[in-house]
Amino acid sequence: MTPNGFLQIGLYLAVLVALVKPLGAFMARVYKREKTFLDPVFGPLERLIYRLARIDAAREMDWKENAVAMLLFNAAGFLLVYLMQRVQHLLPLNPEGMGPVSADSSFNTAVSFVTNTNWQGYGGETTMSYLTQMAALTAQNFISAATGMALLALIIRGFARHSATTLGNFWVDMTRSTLYILLPLSIVFAVVLVSQGVPQNFSPYAHAQFVDPPRDTSGAFVKEQVIATGPVASQIAIKQLGTNGGGFFNANSAHPFENPTPLTDFLEELAILLIAAALCYTYGQMVGDTRQGWALLVAMTLILVAMLGVCYWAEGAPNVLLNGHGIDQSAGNMEGKEVRFGVANSALWATVTTSASNGSVNAMHDSFSPLGGMIPLIAMHLGEVVFGGVGSGLYGMLVFVIVAVFVAGLLVGRTPEYLGHKVESFEMKMASLLILIMPITVLLLTALAVVTSDGRGAIANPGAHGFSEILYVFTSQGNNNGSAFAGVSVNTPFYNIMGAVAMLIGRYWLAIPTLALAGALARKKLVPAGEGTLPTHTPLFVFWLIAVVLIVGALNFLPALALGPVVEYFMMIH
């Protein structure tokens, strides 16, 4: 840990917080359908989409109809992504002649990109044609992010409204999220990335003459270096902004073409949390009390900073097993890290990408120290509510708010209420369902993999670390994160199918009950705040909310963590 490392982290947090209000206020205007400075550019396009797709933009829908619209739209997206991979060898823009992707891998990838997980069982530069990368994967980067943001807009209206039956129109919120928020930010960001060296072309892979030719595994000299390129920048920009995380290349954001300089690293890290953080402010504006949004943002940030501190400390320390060999380990644990980022930026990225449900990596989590690698696991075990995915993170956190309010109400013997809504048994049933389903999915699938040879066959590292690898697989997919302890060989039918199940449950089993919860809240009559009302914007409530999030997350996964990273840590130091 160095003063410069703390300074970089401090600067990151300061810039992030400074951008929350301007972007959050802008997004509130988008969801309230007020005029924005982008109307002259995207207004005609928006109206064209409504006309051609037969969307009645003036009509609001209840939670069920919105849920149906969302599911049908995502199902269509799934089919398109699946089919494009299966027939990519017949389609244009395939200069490297990539063949069709296997059925189970295409299935997993289609589910993965539609659910905003972007788990990747494949290596991008050895599997996908340029057209698949663009029209299937880049497009779903936008569409799945816009789906999450639209769901959030609907759910926020449920929290804001009283005695109402409708939540808004999914089609309108989804279209406006894409056109007014994701697309303009991505265009600007992609051009900035190119200016730093991220490629953007449709050429075949480049071939270079090695200066000092190496030998391959058979001992023969290799004269040429193959250098994969393609339309990279346009995918990387939305991959970070939309908390998608699916890389153009196998090495993801560690690849010098995805993330060539410290400046791109800083901006990409910023992009990962930018929209999720700013949505807290949007929430505050839409419910008519910005303090409510700030309170959630403060709670998220405090949890993030605590996890970041542990991760940075653990990665900055030397690997004790390498002591005594005459190695200068002052740079920290550099296995699986890039020199231009160093330990501080690798720990920052790992914590940020798993707090948000982004899942891109600029260092290999599998090679992190035992406790450093435990932090990404914990960040995901909290249910992706510390920032989380764009939209989905905040609506997950709102569920925790309901639980926190309810438990606090029980403690003092008052009817719990939040923003003028009485919290009653239906809301608590939905909230309990939401909180239980993720750990059940993750732990059951982990257990299944550990006891089957198909599951154990994927392990790359021996001992407790191997268990952590499997736990990470299902934690990541069950929370729609997409990062990996990447040593595991998961491109097998067993993992592709089980993982897809985890991703589907993680996305829709959370989204639909939360919509139902929002629908129920919207119908309730306004309960004016009284003397017994627990204020939900105070430091007291912020700490209470943090406690609820941490206790639920810790209780669910402590035994599993004890078997993996904790055991490995104690074995290492002895």
Partner 1 sequence: MIVKHTITSLIALLLLTVITGVLYPLLVTGIAQVAFPAKANGSLLTVRGKTVGSVLIGQPFSDPKYFWSRLSATAPYPFNAGSSTGSNLGPTNPALLDEVQGRLTDLRKADSLNALPVPVDLVTSSSSGLDPDISPSAAAYQVGRVARARGIGEDAVRALVDANTRERTFGLLGEPRVNVLALNLALDESAAWKGGK
Interatomic CA distance for residues 82 and 76, integer angstroms: 10
Cβ 566 to partner 1 shortest distance, Å: 13
73 lies in the site for partner 1, by CB under 8 A: yes
Cβ 501 to partner 1 shortest distance, Å: 23
Closer to partner 1 at the Cβ: 217 or 425?
217
Place of tokens 């590292």: 461
Closer to partner 1 at the Cβ: 191 or 437?
191
431 lies in the site for partner 1, by CB under 8 A: no
332-371 residues in contact with partner 1 (CB under 8 A) are 332-342, 345-346, 361-364, 366-370
Interatomic CA distance for residues 42 and 52, integer angstroms: 15
Type and span of the H or E element at 118: none
Interatomic CA distance for residues 481 and 478, integer angstroms: 8
Interatomic CA distance for residues 134 and 140, integer angstroms: 9
Cβ 452 to partner 1 shortest distance, Å: 22
15 lies in the site for partner 1, by CB under 8 A: no
Cβ 277 to partner 1 shortest distance, Å: 20
Cβ 544 to partner 1 shortest distance, Å: 37
489-508 residues in contact with partner 1 (CB under 8 A) are none
Cβ 367 to partner 1 shortest distance, Å: 6
447-476 residues in contact with partner 1 (CB under 8 A) are 460-465
Query: Among 158, 168, 231, 245, which residue interacts with partner 1 (rule: CB under 8 A)?
Result: 231
- Is 293:285 a contact under the CB 8 Å cutoff? yes
Closer to partner 1 at the Cβ: 243 or 441?
243
Cβ 254 to partner 1 shortest distance, Å: 4
> What one-character-per-residue DSSP string does 404-470 give?
HHHHHHHHHT---EETTEE--HHHHHHHHHHHHHHHHHHHHHHHHHHHSHHHHTT--S-THHHHHHH
Query: Among 103, 263, 411, 555, which residue interacts with partner 1 (rule: CB under 8 A)?
Result: 263
- Is 371:314 a contact under the CB 8 Å cutoff? yes
38 lies in the site for partner 1, by CB under 8 A: no
Closer to partner 1 at the Cβ: 87 or 444?
87
Name the DSSP letter for residue 227: E
- Phi/psi region, residue 336 (left: phi>0; alpha: psi -120 to 50; beta: rest), is left
Interatomic CA distance for residues 297 and 129, integer angstroms: 40
6 lies in the site for partner 1, by CB under 8 A: no
Query: Among 155, 190, 295, 504, which residue interacts with partner 1 (rule: CB under 8 A)?
Result: 190
> What one-character-per-residue DSSP string does 154-216 give?
HHHHHHH-SS-S--B-HHHHHHHIIIIIIHHHHHHHHHHHHHHT--B--PPPEEEE-SSPPB-
Cβ 312 to partner 1 shortest distance, Å: 14
Query: Among 52, 90, 412, 451, which residue interacts with partner 1 (rule: CB under 8 A)?
Result: 52
255 lies in the site for partner 1, by CB under 8 A: yes
Number of residues interacting with partner 1: please give it, by CB under 8 A. Answer: 135
Cβ 528 to partner 1 shortest distance, Å: 36
Closer to partner 1 at the Cβ: 366 or 427?
366
3 lies in the site for partner 1, by CB under 8 A: no
113 lies in the site for partner 1, by CB under 8 A: no
Q: List alpha helices for 452-566, DSSP H.
A: 453-456, 464-478, 493-523, 539-561
